[in-house]
Amino acid sequence: MSRATETRNPLGFLDEAMAQIRADGLYRTLRVLEGEQKPEARFDHKDVINLSSNNYLGLTTHPRLREAALDAVRRLGVGSGSVRTIAGTMDLHMELERRIATFKRTEAAVVFQSGFAANAGTVSAVLGKDDLILSDELNHASIIDGARLSRATIKVFPHRDVKALERLLEETSAYPRRLVITDGVFSMDGDVAPMPAITALARAHGAIMMVDDAHASGVLGKAGRGTVDHFDLHGQVDIQVGTLSKAIGVLGGYVCGSKTLIEYLYHRARPFLFSTSHPPAVAAACLAAFDVLEQEPERIERLWSNTKRFKDGLARLGFDTGISETPITPIIVGEADLAMRFSDDLFARGVFAQGIGFPTVAKGRARLRTIVTATHTEAELDRALSTLEDVGRTLGIIR
Ligand SMILES: *Cc1c(COP(=O)(O)O)cnc(C)c1O
């Protein structure tokens, strides 16, 4: 072996890539949570009002979910020991799938390890290289990756643009199979997809209709059943995806639809076939979460009253909160460095609201992304608002 080969670092190019990330001002360290995921939490040795989690209903620390998980650990251990299709399907997994199907009012449901796996695994299993995927430009990364894995042709329509979607559907009738796919609630803007119009178009053109309700489940619709319930589209949306990691407070993703769809995914969705199933504690905690959704409707009511209080406060202060209609409320400031400075100064003053810039959102539309939860107190929200006011004035974001 020559000296040159001995000393050459084949990953040396990553040093350059990281240097570029730093030069672009995009270098980030991970905020570390010390303790529980709660409305007031300790990150990086600092107590802050937490406006950055997806823990909409406060279920990450709910006593019933904890007890269910502990009981499952005591009875069943900590791991499932296999993928679902070999020896890793436990009765708890089947019970959770039946529970989710009942909740969403579909024939059947399948649980994946994450929402990401649910989207990527489903889109890539259902569509193939001769097919077409019509996708909203702000759809989640897991949809985009699933679409790429499918090798289908991908056409992106402008955000929530029903007319553009209609034109695309008219132009592409030669494809054997077409999928129309949208997020139900968009994760960076908090706006809601025009589901009735999109669903009607998909049906009129014989396309498969799929929605990703990661941010709508537990939030919109009766007892948090999602956008399909919110818009009363039961029976019209072929594939509904949801996550168990956000409002449900635990971990996982699921797909709901016909019995045939779910059986097909049991046979063809690669994360289902090739990655180990959830530990029993995860399935047990999720089951308890669905009990809580049905039995504690006041949580969703609190989520929405807190959302209104916080949004009204931001509007009164003169912040630009875009077109949000849900608990996800962006505070749009423009340039990425200003958003990051705003976020850092707020953190120093005890408010955690993540700054988000390009490429996650468009250039010039950098923002803080805030989410209030059902478990924030009014006092906490008011304190957050007054800190936002102080820091926003100091930085010239509001007058
Ligand atoms: C978070 C999210 C996912 C992924 O869900 P996980 O359970 O966290 O993997 C999928 N789609 C959307 C729209 C999301 O916001």
Q: Can you spell out the DSSP letters for 258-287?
A: -HHHHHHHHHH-HHHHHSBPPPHHHHHHHH
Rounded to whole angstroms, what are the CA distances from 108 to 99, 257, 263? Answer: 9, 6, 9
Contact present, 390 and 382 (Cβ < 8 Å): no
Q: Is 187 in the pocket of ligand 1 (CB under 6 A)?
A: yes
> Going along 162-260, which residue ranges are E strands?
178-183, 208-212, 239-243, 253-257
Q: Within a domain: residue 65?
A: yes
Instruction: Give the pLDDT means over successive 10-residue stretches in the chain (399 positions).
Output: 68 95 84 97 98 98 98 98 97 98 98 98 98 97 97 98 98 97 96 98 98 97 97 98 98 98 98 98 98 96 98 97 96 93 97 90 92 98 98 96
Q: Within a domain: residue 256?
A: yes
**What count of other Cβ atoms lies within 10 Å of the Cβ of residue 266?**
15
Q: Within a domain: residue 255?
A: yes
Alpha-carbon span 80 to 288, nearest angstrom: 19
Q: For residues 254 and 325, state if they share a domain.
A: no
What pLDDT score was predicted for residue 267?
A: 98
Q: Kindly give the distance from the C-alpha atom of residue 116 to the centroid of ligand 1, in angstroms, as a whole number.
A: 6
Q: For residues 133 and 266, state if they share a domain.
A: yes
Active site amino acids: 187, 215, 246
Q: Kindly give the distance from the C-alpha atom of residue 117 to the centroid of ligand 1, in angstroms, as a whole number.
A: 9
Q: Is 321 in the pocket of ligand 1 (CB under 6 A)?
A: no
Last residue of a domain, one of 295, 321, 337: 295
Contact present, 286 and 361 (Cβ < 8 Å): no
CATH number of the CATH domain containing 364: 3.90.1150.10
Last residue of a domain, one of 295, 328, 359: 295
Q: Is 380 in the pocket of ligand 1 (CB under 6 A)?
A: no
Contact present, 193 and 136 (Cβ < 8 Å): yes
Q: For residue 376, what is the enclosing H or E element?
A: none
What pLDDT score was predicted for residue 3?
A: 57
Q: For residues 322 and 265, state if they share a domain.
A: no
- Structural domains in the chain (count): 2
Task: Select from 351, 360, 348, 349 the least CA-distant residue to 380.
Answer: 351
CA atoms within 13 A on the CB side of 92: 23
Q: Within a domain: residue 102?
A: yes
Q: Is 114 in the pocket of ligand 1 (CB under 6 A)?
A: yes
Alpha-carbon span 373 to 309, nearest angstrom: 12
Whose C-alpha lies nearest to ligand 1, atom 6? 115
* Buried residues in 274-292 as b, exposed as e (16+ CB within 10 A): eeebbbbbbbbbbbbbbeb
Q: Is 253 in the pocket of ligand 1 (CB under 6 A)?
A: yes
Q: For residues 180 and 31, state if they share a domain.
A: no
What pLDDT score was predicted for residue 5?
A: 57
For the stretch 300-309, contacts whose Cβ atoms lie closer than 8 Å and that sit 24 or more positions apart, written own/partner, are 300/57, 300/218, 300/219, 300/223, 300/224, 300/374, 302/374, 302/375, 303/56, 303/57, 303/219, 303/327, 303/372, 303/373, 303/374, 306/372, 306/373, 306/374, 306/376, 306/378, 306/381, 307/372, 309/378, 309/381
DSSP string of 52-90, one letter each residue: ----TTSGGG-HHHHHHHHHHHHHH-S---SBTTTT---
**DSSP structural state of residue 177:** -
Cα 103 from chain centre: 19
Q: Kindly give the distance from the C-alpha atom of residue 29 to the centroid of ligand 1, in angstroms, as a whole number.
A: 22
Q: Within a domain: residue 6?
A: no
CA atoms within 13 A on the CB side of 27: 11
Q: For residue 225, what is the enclosing H or E element?
A: none
Q: For residues 317 and 200, state if they share a domain.
A: no
Q: For residues 198 and 110, state if they share a domain.
A: yes
Residue 29, C-beta contacts closer than 8 angstroms, at least 6 positions apart: none
Q: Which atom of ligand 1 is nearest to the CA of 185?
A: 13
What pLDDT score was predicted for residue 88?
A: 97
Task: Find the domain containing 254 and state its range.
Answer: 61-295
Q: Within a domain: residue 15?
A: no
Contact present, 182 and 239 (Cβ < 8 Å): no
What pLDDT score was predicted for residue 26?
A: 77
CATH number of the CATH domain containing 69: 3.40.640.10
Q: For residues 88 and 34, state if they share a domain.
A: no
Last residue of a domain, one of 295, 319, 340: 295
Q: For residues 134 and 171, state if they share a domain.
A: yes
Contact present, 181 and 212 (Cβ < 8 Å): yes
Q: For residues 368 and 383, state if they share a domain.
A: yes
Q: For residues 287 and 318, state if they share a domain.
A: no
Q: For residues 108 and 169, state if they share a domain.
A: yes
Rg (CA), the chain: 22
Alpha-carbon span 204 to 166, nearest angstrom: 10
For the stretch 141-144, contacts whose Cβ atoms lie closer than 8 Å and that sit 24 or more positions apart, written own/partner, are 141/116, 142/115, 142/116, 142/117, 142/118, 142/212, 143/119, 143/181, 143/183, 143/212
Q: Within a domain: residue 95?
A: yes
Q: For residues 32 and 179, state if they share a domain.
A: no
Alpha-carbon span 362 to 358, nearest angstrom: 6
